[in-house]
Chain A
Amino acid sequence: DTAVSQTPKYLVTQMGNDKSIKCEQNLGHDTMYWYKQDSKKFLKIMFSYNNKELIINETVPNRFSPKSPDKAHLNLHINSLELGDSAVYFCASSQGATGSNQPQHFGDGTRLSIL
């Protein structure tokens, strides 16, 4: 059973479209994250949620809107997609509150390609 699962695995779409990525974790963790990994492999945090509450909101365009219906789910909606949004988006989760020194468990990633 996959601990952190993301869908879809691949997403190819046109510039200007709106798309969503879903993430679910079955580890019972309290905190979930979204990361963006660009073509140079830099991993940068975008958001973190602790028990449905937004904790970290990095300098991310407001076209990106996370939603956490419960602590096991953190979805990412992106409006008006741009070429620069092409990247691999990773969801992750960890035990305890954001900032606790616990390892993060990553999903398999969603490769987003903007045409």
Chain B
Amino acid sequence: GENVEQHPSTLSVQEGDSAVIKCTYSDSASNYFPWYKQELGKRPQLIIDIRSNVGEKKDQRIAVTLNKTAKHFSLHITETQPEDSAVYFCAALGRASKIIFGSGTRLSIRP
């Protein structure tokens, strides 16, 4: 069945440095790739998404890249700040019309 793999599971970076989270998906028909941020005890919230007709999208300090040939996509956060600490989930919309989530990355920003 469809699968989304996410790496790393935990990531610690110095405040001000960049963080990169990578995901691969199995369903070549996937055409929508959202990223969600979940703070401790809170709900997942969409931070950025990308559709299959573009290779990159940027929103201030956050960017997402998509490589459809290799079936992988990545989240890049630049100039990290303490409030970026959270669990981040990638996801892919597959042919079965359901969103498959990655297993999450716990990002910690060191002061």
Q: Are A98 and B87 interface neighbours, CB within 8 A? A: no
**Within 8 Å CB of B103, what residues of A?**
40-42
| Residues of B contacting A56 in the complex (Cβ-Cβ under 8 angstroms) | 96-98
| B-binding segment of A62-70, A78-86, A105-113 | A105-113
The reply to whether A99 and B97 form a contact with Cβ atoms under 8 Å apart is yes
Number of chain A residues whose Cβ lies closer than 8 Å to a Cβ of chain B: 22
Q: Interface residues of B: mostly helix, strand, loop or mixed?
A: strand
A51: Cβ under 8 A from any B Cβ: no
Give every chain A residue within 8 A of B44 (Cβ-Cβ): 43, 90, 106
- Is A61 interfacial (CB 8 A cutoff)? no
Please state if B87 and A41 are interface contacts (CB–CB under 8 Å).
yes
B104 with A103: CB separation less than 8 A: no
- Given A101-B31, A101-B51, A103-B34, does the pair A108, B42 have CB atoms closer than 8 Å? yes
Chain B residues within an 8 Å CB radius of A55: 97
Q: Shortest Cβ distance from A59 into chain B, in angstroms?
A: 10
Q: What CA separation (Å) do A45 and B2 show in the bound complex?
A: 13
Q: A41-B87, A41-B104 are in contact. Are A103 and B46 (CB under 8 A)?
A: yes
Known contacts A101-B32, A101-B93, A103-B34, A45 near B45 by CB under 8 Å = no
Per the bound structure, the CA–CA distance linking A2 and B38 in Å amounts to 17
The answer to whether A106 touches B43 (Cβ under 8 A) is yes
**Contacts A41-B103, A55-B97, A101-B32 given; 11 further ones with Cβ under 8 A?**
A40-B103, A41-B104, A42-B104, A43-B89, A45-B99, A45-B100, A58-B98, A99-B93, A99-B97, A103-B49, A107-B43
Residues of A within 8 A of B (CB): 40-45, 48, 55-56, 58, 90, 97-99, 101, 103-109
Please name 5 pairs of A and B residues whose Cβ atoms are closer than 8 Å in the assembled complex, sorted by A.
Answer: A41-B38, A42-B103, A98-B97, A101-B31, A103-B49
